[in-house]
């Protein structure tokens, strides 16, 4: 449903007043709410399937320095209509639609990054994220959210390539909380993010479900390789991951003092 | 009230174990498909009017429902359920974690019937989409092609299948089995990553009401297994791999060791 109407946070129906009969929760695509013959409590039009993606920072992997609070739930839908409406006819066309805007450029002044961003999916041979061939380019994971949308938007780039030398994210490990990140989009718009945390994870312990989460507060997640290097395998043993949040959501440390 | 028991279908539905998406849940999901042409109906679930005045081609859901037993009774729109037998009726058990399609549709030959079909809501590999095709139309066997390659051949009324493919837009064709010249459906269909797109062929080809209705089970995606972004080892020295929260401690320790080193001189 991806690319479909934005997913709402997980919402639990109110079962406290639920008679032993049908409680129908109108799910994605069904705008308007619910029903039953009797007047049951109206429940939210939430995507129940996202209970799977509730991937609550799996493994409790809340990253260091996190001030990101759980998403606030949407208000309940209005009172129950007479009966459940059918899905909108345009469902078919919405199914594969992409996010409204796609990132095309990434700028991080603190580490001298000004790079083009292209959409990448999955390397079907390895099951890993597909990454740029050019050491100076940045990959956006196109199956997840775009930066600024709900969930974790992933931008990945090389720390280095033996064939090309140091990569555009060579200095990602130097980013620190408070550093600003700018993302430009294909519609000409631009959004700013603020680094909130940086963590180096052993590749075996990478919190993939958090990094690639499609629910939760908007997070921009920058990834490259780092840590120790296994020369014989020609690979790093870790990933450096930087979490940033939209500038407008950055918590103000102190109240404003005119 | 006379009920047509869908004993065989109920059995099939009941033995399906909860799958990943709902493993922790006591709910299942139901998709309701109205595939009987020229018949406006009220659909009652456990005696409650739930889908009012539904017409041919309507698709409802997926709708979350508590796992359990459900009676489905379908009456012509406005008919008093206490005054007569339903046009179609059945009962089924919805297991926790399952997604089931309940469809009123035409058998080959044109008789309306009610069927329950369990949909595949297991997770999809990163980058993949799933497509499910269900032949619920008054028509003979069909072949289903994606980008002109046969995916399923000889699918008959009441039959269906699913398969996972790389997420993309595909040209989907439905033709009479073995007769590529008789095309019943031809459209470009976007298959979203992590989504099971279900296509229901309904109506009557001969009667001119044939169409394909769709529903989608989303959120089945899995994450890529890693992010390979370096192979040269050009980073300076040995990175201590210290999480930022511990960076201060690391610096302090470093400073301490320097002090010790100097004292040892």
User: Which structure tokens are listed for A173?
Assistant: 């490990």
DSSP-H helix ranges across chain B: 7-14, 247-264
Going by C-alpha positions, the residue among A194, A225, A229, A241 that lies closest to residue B238 is A229
B17 has pLDDT over 90: no
Q: Are A4 and B65 inside 8 Å of each other by CB?
A: no
pLDDT digits (tens, 9 = 90+) for A26-63: 333 333 332 322 222 333 333 222 222 222 233 333 55
β strands within chain A, DSSP E:
103-108, 113-120, 138-141, 152-156, 160-161, 165-166, 180-185, 190-202, 219-230, 235-246
Domain span at B205? 7-217
Q: Mean pLDDT in chain B?
A: 85
Among A64-68, A154-158, A188-192, B241-245, the range scoring the smallest mean pLDDT is: A64-68
Contact A50, A10 (CB under 8 A): yes
| For range A61-81, the mean pLDDT | 41
B154 domain residue, yes or no: yes
B12 has pLDDT over 90: no
User: Hey, is B45 helix, strand or coil?
Assistant: strand
Q: Is B219 left (phi over 0), alpha (psi -120 to 50) or beta?
A: left
Contact B217, B192 (CB under 8 A): no
Bridge partners of residue A205, in order along the sequence: none
The Cα-based distances of A193 to A29, A246, A249, B127, B229 in angstroms read 30, 4, 9, 27, 22
Count interface pairs A-B at CB distance under 8 A. Answer: 268
Annotated domain spans of chain A? 1-97, 103-249
Best A40, A87, A132 member to test B by mutation, with max B CBs in 10 Å, is A87
B229: chain A residues, CB-CB within 8 Å: 131, 156-159, 167, 169, 223-225, 239
| For range A72-99, the mean pLDDT | 56
Q: What is the DSSP string of B104-166?
A: EEEPTTS-EEEEEEEE--S-B-TTEEEEEEEEEEES--EEEEETTEEEEEEE-TT-EEEEEEE
CA dihedral (A190, A194, A197, A201) in degrees, to 10, reads 10
Fold of the domain spanning A103-249: Sortase; Chain: A; (2.40.260)
How many structural domains are present in chain B?
1
Going by C-alpha positions, the residue among A50, A8, A4, A58 that lies closest to residue B27 is A50
B263 CA: distance to closest CA in chain A (Å): 31
| For range A104-126, the mean pLDDT | 97
B250 domain residue, yes or no: no
pTM score, whole prediction? 0.73
């Amino acid at each position: 449903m991806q690319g479909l109407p934005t997913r709402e946070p997980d919402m639990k129906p109110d079962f406290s007043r639920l008679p032993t009969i049908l409680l129908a929760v109108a799910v994605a695509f069904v705008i308007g709410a619910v029903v039953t013959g009797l007047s049951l409590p109206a429940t939210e039009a939430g995507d129940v399937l996202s209970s799977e993606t509730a991937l609550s920072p799996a493994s409790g992997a809340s990253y260091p320095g996190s001030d990101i609070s759980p998403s606030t739930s949407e208000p309940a839908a209005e009172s129950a209509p007479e009966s459940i409406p059918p899905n909108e006819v345009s469902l078919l066309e919405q199914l594969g639609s992409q996010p409204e805007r796609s990132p095309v450029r990434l700028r991080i002044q603190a580490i001298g990054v000004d790079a083009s961003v292209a959409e990448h999916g999955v390397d079907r041979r390895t099951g890993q994220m597909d990454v740029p061939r050019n050491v100076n380019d940045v990959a956006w994971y196109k199956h997840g959210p775009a930066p600024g949308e709900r969930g974790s938007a992933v931008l990945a780039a090389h720390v280095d390539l033996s064939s090309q030398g140091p990569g555009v994210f060579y200095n990602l490990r130097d980013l620190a909380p408070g550093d600003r990140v700018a993302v430009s989009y294909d519609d000409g718009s631009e959004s700013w993010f603020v680094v909130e945390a940086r963590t180096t994870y052993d590749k075996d312990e990478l919190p993939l479900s958090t990094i690639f989460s499609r629910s939760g507060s908007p997070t921009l997640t920058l990834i490259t390789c780092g840590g120790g290097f296994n020369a014989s395998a020609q690979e790093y043993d870790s990933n450096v991951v930087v979490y940033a949040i939209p500038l407008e959501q950055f918590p103000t440390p102190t109240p404003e003092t005119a | 009230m006379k009920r047509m028991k869908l004993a065989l279908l109920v059995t099939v539905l009941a033995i399906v174990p909860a799958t990943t998406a709902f493993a922790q849940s006591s709910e299942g999901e139901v998709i309701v498909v109205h595939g009987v042409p020229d018949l406006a109906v009220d659909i009652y679930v456990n005696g409650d009017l739930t889908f009012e005045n539904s017409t041919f081609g309507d698709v409802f859901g997926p709708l979350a429902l508590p796992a359990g037993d459900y009676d489905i009774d379908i009456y012509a729109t406005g008919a008093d359920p206490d005054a007569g037998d339903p046009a179609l009726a059945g009962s089924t058990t919805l297991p926790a974690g399952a997604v089931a399609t309940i469809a009123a549709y035409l058998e080959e030959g044109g008789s309306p019937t009610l069927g329950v079909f369990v949909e595949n809501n297991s997770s999809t590999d990163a980058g993949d989409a799933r497509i499910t095709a269900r032949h619920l139309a008054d028509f003979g066997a069909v072949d289903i092609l994606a980008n002109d390659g046969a995916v399923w051949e000889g699918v008959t009324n009441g039959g269906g299948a699913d398969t996972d493919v790389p997420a993309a837009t595909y040209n989907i064709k439905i033709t009479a089995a073995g007769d590529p010249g008789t095309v019943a459906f031809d459209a470009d269909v976007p298959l979203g990553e992590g989504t099971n797109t279900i296509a229901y062929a309904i109506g009557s080809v001969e009667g001119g009401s044939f169409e394909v209705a769709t529903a989608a089970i989303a959120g089945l995606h899995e994450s890529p297994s890693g992010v390979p972004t370096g192979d040269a080892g050009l980073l300076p020295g040995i990175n201590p791999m210290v999480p930022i929260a511990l960076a201060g401690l690391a610096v302090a320790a470093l400073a301490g060791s320097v002090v010790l080193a100097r004292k040892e001189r």
